[in-house]
Structure 1
Amino acid sequence: MKRARSAAEPEDSDQDGTRSQRGIQSLDSTGALLDALLQAARPLPLGDLARLAGMPAAKAFPHLVSLQKIGMLARDAQGNFFPGALALDLGLAALQRLSPLREAEAEVVTLVQATGLSVALAVFGPLGPTVVRLEESSRPQHVSLRIGTVLSMVHTAIGRVCAAHLPPDMLAGALAMDAIRMEGAQPDSVSHPDGSLRHDYAERLRQIRTLSLDQALGRPVPGIHTLAAPVFNHAGQLALVMAVMGSSGSFDTAADGVVARLLRAAAHNVSWRLGAFAQASPQAGGQSDGNGESDENGQNDRND
């Protein structure tokens, strides 16, 4: 005789979990409202929120009341709904468990497959930009890069992307160490005695922030081209740098070329997963406009 189903037992599930479990349909509607608010990225009144979620306002309102009660949503004096304290706590908890390297892993593999090029990840470490992940292409190429390699902030694309997004005080110290550590890099090669950046280097960093990309064509390794792009965290700070590398002539190195677009898209995807929702590259670095005036972070450059 078939036993009666327990009231607490999901109707569609077996003990071994082979069948998909039935959810609570009303929560699907609740989720649609939360997703609509997230996509709007601004407080919304009841009517607009219901419309974006694809349901009548009369149906949406009870869900919104319940979400307010548990702290997932709050409501301002104008009646607009916005994320509440519980939503913020959940978001922070999710961000705290994120690992930039783990979030970037899938993009690294996809980028290697899509471009046929080697892909590297680097972070800014105590000694400077440091390679922490390298997925080599199946194509024969002589890339003298290994995990743990510390790169120049002046002569490499990865290093310059780091430099473009460092606060001015960190950048000054990093460049001083770079000059000592890197053979052939003179202490005054990119900065003046007063710490201001030479105009050509400051202009290069501004260009990197504008394009979210830098190129190193045949330098510092002859015959190897590199494109590098920044990845940001939820605070708009540089989390890591993603780069593609290949032999000269083996791929399009143009800033608006196919490979550059794939690289920027991959970097943007990782940034999004880390909580950086801006559509354009955050202007995290601080260089001046070339006339000796500083931008938001106060880093000056001079025209000589």
Structure 2
Amino acid sequence: MPDIADDGPDANDREDSEGRDVQEGREDRDDREDRRGIQSIEVGGRLLKAAAARGQPLPLKALSQAAEMSPAKAHPYLVSFCKLGLMRQDPATGYYGLGPLAMEMGLIGMRQIDPIRLATARLEALAEEIGHTVAIAVWGSQGATIVRTAASPAAVHVTMRHGTVVSLSDTASGPLFAAYRPESEIKAMLAEARRKGPADLARVGPHDSPRELPTWAAFSATLDDIRGRVMHRSVGGIVEGVSALAVPVFDSDAQMALALTAIGPSGAFDAAWDGAVSRGLTGTATALMREIGGRFPG
């Protein structure tokens, strides 16, 4: 039987090796391209950003100025964007606005956003900023419910527990949600609380004594005030010496997605409508709404 000599890689082996080298070289170049990006796409993207920021169709000159480029430079990008559906040119006016694909992408992006997750990521920093315990509340089957908390950095602070359902009428979060829920739903909840009796009424003061729920007329006036201020506060509402302030976060459908609530000892808590706590909460809520594409009702 003849010996089979191994004289090194044959032609096929060499081709495979060379092919791998070429492929690896391409992947290296692709990686560099990924890091560097494609400049022409980034330049054209300025037109999309400008159109989104203005929120209405614009003539070529105004749109190109907003994107900081000449009309002659902007026009080829706009032609391509219109073909893709990212932009649309009104046949009557010639103005350019966002197209159907851009709108579809926006809707899909908003559906993928989890407001609670995004708010949770900001909670620790918010507690540090305002110096009080902060929480996220959502509307559940039994009312406003605490789902996330971040403790105050202060040595003396008030805590909140996950899963706590807060009072509909005497807290910061409860009436805030009620202001943006259907009136029939809130009326029914108040009626049910009265039917159940003192055990379910709001409790306040050092002796934890029951207090009557407000009449609908009084509570309705409170809800009107909340809608005007777009925030609510409670000073000694449930526990004497404890204050809270809450602001809403609305989603892309102008529905209240959650409440950001701060709570602390009344003596150290700035409950002013335009105070430090209010500014911290409002700033975070505004940033969240920008991130999720939220909009205010009305």
Q: Provide the TM-score with structure 2 as the length reference.
A: 0.82
Whether contact under 8 Å (1:227, 1:253) holds in the other structure is yes
1:230 corresponds to 2:248: yes
For structure 1, which segment, 250-259 or 232-241, has the greater mean C-alpha deviation from structure 2 after superposition?
Answer: 250-259
Asked if the contact 1:243–1:263 (Cα under 8 Å) also holds between the matched residues in 2, the reply is yes
1:241 is aligned to 2:255: no
Q: 1:20 to 1:106 in 2, by over 3 A?
A: same
C-alpha separation in 1, matches of 2:267 and 2:88: 56
Bigger fraction of residues in helix:
2
1:230 is aligned with what amino acid? P
Q: CA deviation at 1:168?
A: 1.8
Report the secondary structure of 1:267's partner residue.
helix
Give the equivalent residue in structure 1 for 2:191: 176
Amino acid at match of 1:33: L
Give 5+ residue unaligned stretches, structure 2.
1-20, 203-209
Query: Counterpart of 2:129 in 1: which secondary structure?
Result: helix
Residue from 66, 74, 80 that aligns with 1:52? 66
Q: Identify the range of structure 1 (137-146 vs 246-255) with the bigger mean alpha-carbon deviation.
A: 137-146
* Bigger Rg, structure 1 or 2: 2
**Higher relative contact order structure (alpha carbons within 8 Å, sequence separation ≥ 6):** 1
Percent identity, please: 35
In structure 1, the partner of 2:117 is: 102
Q: Deviations over 1:182-236 (max 9, x none)?
A: 6335998444xxxxx31x3222212211212111111201111101011100000
Aligned length: 268
Equivalent AA in structure 1 for residue 189 of structure 2: A
Aligned residue identity for 2:112: R
1:116 maps to what in 2? 131
Work out which of the residue numbers 224, 227, 238 in structure 2 matches 1:220. Answer: 238
Distance 2:279 2:49 in 1: 28
Q: Which residue of 1 aligns with 2:56?
A: 42
1:137 aligns with 2:152: yes
TM-score of the pair, normalised by structure 1: 0.81
Superimposed CA distance per residue, residues 68-113 of structure 1 (whole angstroms, 9 cap, x where no aligned partner): 1011111212111111111111111111111111111232122111
CA RMSD of aligned residues (A): 2.5
Note the residue ranges of structure 1 that are not aligned, 5 or more in a row. 192-196, 284-304
Report Cα offsets for 1:262-298 as digits up to 9, x if no partner. 1111112112222114xxx435xxxxxxxxxxxxxxx
Alpha-carbon spacing, 1:144–1:36, altered in 2? closer, same or farther (3 Å): closer
Give the conservation status (yes or no) of the 8 Å contact 2:46–2:67.
yes
Residue 181 of structure 2 is aligned with which of 156, 159, 166? Answer: 166
